Amino acid sequence: MIEYYDSFIDFIKKLNPFLLGGAIGAIIHRMRNEMSWSAFFKSVVMSMFISFCVGVFCKDYLDVKNDNIIFVACGLSGAFSKIILDEFEQILKLASVYAKVKLGINKKTEE
């Protein structure tokens, strides 16, 4: 059982800079905007998730070697996580409409 905890701790240690960058970005976002504590905690979780995705993308896909650049990218993505998610939502909606048109799927059935 202890080896599971050790492997989990090792996994978290690798991700710690990404998650910390997202949390710092959420704190910066809170300083710029008024929000309740519950909205702030939701923002922290969302920022940490987005910064994790950006950190993994920079490290594994773009093969960025400098950890400072990855940490800055994670912090910026954490600060602008709501805007980033809104943009992805718009992209997915447009992709859905495009796919429906290409596949000939209509919402309304013809009578």
pLDDT tens profile 69-102:
988 898 888 888 888 888 989 999 999 889 888 8
Q: Please give the pLDDT value at position 34.
A: 87
Residue 58 within any structural domain of the chain: yes
Q: Please give the pLDDT value at position 108.
A: 56
Residue 105 within any structural domain of the chain: no
| Number of compact structural domains in the chain | 1
Residue 97 within any structural domain of the chain: no
Residue 108 within any structural domain of the chain: no
pLDDT tens profile 27-65:
888 888 888 888 888 888 888 888 888 988 998 899 999
Residue 38 within any structural domain of the chain: yes
Hey, what are 50's tokens?
């987005």
| Domain range enclosing 32 | 2-80
Residue 94 within any structural domain of the chain: no
Burial string for 52-80 (b: 16+ CB within 10 Å, else e) reads: bbbbeebbeeeeeeeeeebbebbbbbbbb
Q: Please give the pLDDT value at position 91.
A: 93
Q: Which of 3, 5, 19 shows the shortest CA–CA distance to 56?
A: 19
Hey, what are 42's tokens?
């939701």
This prediction has a pTM of: 0.70
Residue 85 within any structural domain of the chain: no
